Structure 1
Amino acid sequence: MENSSNPFFLHHSDNPGLILVSQPLNGENYNSWNRSMMIALSVKNKLGFINGDFPRPADDDPLLQSWIRNDHVVMSWILNCVSKDIVSSVICCRSAKEIWQDLQDRFHQPNGTRIYQLKKDLLNLQQESLTVTQFYTKHKAIWDELQDYLPQRSCVCGENRVLLDYFQQEQIMHFLMSLSDSYNQIKSHVLLMNPLPPMNRVFSMVLQEEKQREIAARSADLNSAFAAQATNSGKSGKKDRDRPLCSYCGKLGHSVDRCFKKHGYPPGLNFKNKSSAVHHVDSSEVSGSSVPQDPPITSSQYQQLLSLLTAQLATSPMPSSSTSEPLQIPSPTDLKGKQIEDDWQG
């Protein structure tokens, strides 16, 4: 019992709660689940409890209790690796061999049916949006299971080797045909090789092509970002260069002949930004409607102006009749609304 090679030996880690496989049996994955479980039970040296190599000892056999303990541990491992719906249908079985046989009778498919289903899956398998690694994983899983159904012969005159080489060639051809059309260049490169490289080498070549495309796409994105940044910087610099520079105050947006700091601010000038004092104003910052307008003259002012003009004419010598023109005195209506333009433009 202390010998690890003894089928009744239990390591301290061989507890009933151990889960041997990552994917539990759900009814659709029996073949892959069966293979995974047999590998795990073989490592634990417990295959004899499910294939009948270690039958139940007689009631008076001193190994009976040890056999029962090991068999119950194997039963627990199997129950831990099936779905909850299936567990309820085998929980009443009396031995690990009985559970194993019940699952095999229900879910094992005949070879012909399974081969037909696998080949149908191959015909429908396309890369589409899958990465090369994801597509290769699905593709290889189907082909590996198909290979298990090949007739196994002893290696006589290389017949087995010829069959495996043909099977691998078919696998490579289907893998290339199912790849996206964007990999046509690497497909042609592989098909021109004589002899064809192994399947794992073909996968490596296609994977390198995918990585190179990712690097090229990343570089293109960076170049586009740099080009856009350079364009925006050029536009900003050009905009600043188009604005005039005052040689007096050193500010953009006006020239020296329009510098308020040098010539003074116009009366009543309104600024958009009133929170800070400025020494210059760009033409775009002045509100056109805020520039004050000269008010129209009143009737009394008109009469005063008319009297002033009459007195001035009376004291001034009259020009000759040949060159003089009649004096035109504007009426209040003509003077109303007339604005006096300043010779300095702000």
Structure 2
Amino acid sequence: MFGLLDGSLKKPTVPPSTDQELASWLKNDAKVKSWILKSVDRSIVLGLRPLSTATKMWKSLSDTYGTISTARQFELEVELANLQQGDLDITSYFNEVRLLWTEQDLLTAALVSGPASPEVQRERQKIRLLQFLARLRPNYEAERSTLLNREDLKLEGVLATLVREETRQRTQAALDTRPGPGETFVFSAAKGPPRGHSSPAARGNGSNSSSADVFVAYRPPNQRRDVECHHCHEKGHT
């Protein structure tokens, strides 16, 4: 059916063609037009519907979207340069980056074709992986250093390593919030921290008042002095 797109399969004329040949061409042309309309964004469909043949639709799409846009290439480079992991998890961060990579590949497909294409693609993937690692949050520094020392730096291995580390960090964070041996949960019905553990601000003004109820996992002073309270910032309880 590709001849209906590039115009090489011309519409039969009567005569010399038969009515059957014309009917077959019209049927196939309508089929290709429906494929095109189902394959593009709805906003594009409105501009294609008035066109009478698949050839005209294809030419319109080619003229509009088939050329490399230098402005869009620049925009993609800026978006990639500014993209950071931030609050995203590893998978969401990678999906954001992959969308931009995919559009880059589509725009520059013609530029990297030819005998040198495999080498160009490998070098591009390596640079992309390095940029991806550079924009990770600082808590992945150990894994980043390990990955950079690998000779066979591949996307699948990088993602697997980072997802495992992300899972480990989430599990460790959950364990750190659980009470350990010798801890008791204390709920203060009054506003402010439990008695004997007033916040620095409260100690300063002689008041135990606070803007919210406090739920504290209290550790005796001789246990876990490295733990800091998220509310009053004293050591020994959470």
- Which bin holds the TM-score, normalised by the shorter protein? 0.5 to 0.7
Structure with more strand by fraction: 2
What displacement does 1:138 show? 2.2
Alignment partner for residue 202 of structure 1, among 150, 154, 158?
Answer: 158
What displacement does 1:73 show? 2.1
Query: How far apart in 1 are the matches of 2:39 and 2:105?
Result: 25
Question: Partner amino acid for 1:197?
Answer: L
User: Residue in 2 aligned with 1:153?
Assistant: 114
Distance 1:108 1:227, change over 3 A: farther
User: Residue in 1 aligned with 2:231?
Assistant: none
Structure 1 gaps, min length 5: 1-45, 234-346
Do structure 1's residue 219 and structure 2's residue 172 form an aligned pair? no
Distance 1:79 1:186, change over 3 A: same
Distance 1:48 1:179, change over 3 A: farther
Alignment partner for residue 187 of structure 1, among 144, 155, 174?
Answer: 144
Alignment partner for residue 58 of structure 1, among 2, 7, 13?
Answer: 13
Do structure 1's residue 231 and structure 2's residue 187 form an aligned pair? no
Query: How far apart in 2 are the matches of 1:114 and 1:232?
Result: 57
Question: Partner amino acid for 2:160?
Answer: S
Aligned residues, how many?
Answer: 180
On the 8 A contact 1:169/1:196 being kept in 2, the answer is no
Question: Partner amino acid for 1:72?
Answer: A
Alignment partner for residue 120 of structure 2, among 144, 147, 163?
Answer: 163
Query: How far apart in 2 are the matches of 1:55 and 1:204?
Result: 53
What displacement does 1:227 show? 6.6
On the 8 A contact 2:126/2:153 being kept in 1, the answer is no
Query: How far apart in 1 are the matches of 2:12 and 2:5?
Result: 15
On the 8 A contact 1:190/1:196 being kept in 2, the answer is no
RMSD of Structure 2 on Structure 1 (CA): 2.7
On the 8 A contact 1:153/1:160 being kept in 2, the answer is yes
What displacement does 1:108 show? 4.2
Q: Superposed, which structure 2 residues align to 1:35-54 within 5 Å?
A: 46-54=1-9
Higher Cα radius of gyration: 1
Residues 178-209 of structure 1 show CA distances to partners (whole Å, capped at 9, x for unaligned) of 2222211111111122x142122112211111
Residues 266-294 of structure 1 show CA distances to partners (whole Å, capped at 9, x for unaligned) of xxxxxxxxxxxxxxxxxxxxxxxxxxxxx
Distance 1:160 1:98, change over 3 A: closer
Distance 1:74 1:143, change over 3 A: same
Q: For structure 1, which segment, 71-80 or 127-136, has the greater mean C-alpha deviation from structure 2 after superposition?
A: 71-80
Distance 1:202 1:85, change over 3 A: closer
What displacement does 1:85 show? 4.3
Secondary structure at 2:141 match in 1? helix
Residues 185-241 of structure 1 show CA distances to partners (whole Å, capped at 9, x for unaligned) of 111111122x142122112211111111122223334x23x779x6149xxxxxxxx
Residues 6-65 of structure 1 show CA distances to partners (whole Å, capped at 9, x for unaligned) of xxxxxxxxxxxxxxxxxxxxxxxxxxxxxxxxxxxxxxxx44432334332333244321
Return the structure number with greater relative CO, CA threshold 8 A, min gap 6. 2
TM-score (norm 1): 0.46
What displacement does 1:81 show? 4.0
TM-score (norm 2): 0.64
Structure 2 gaps, min length 5: 187-238
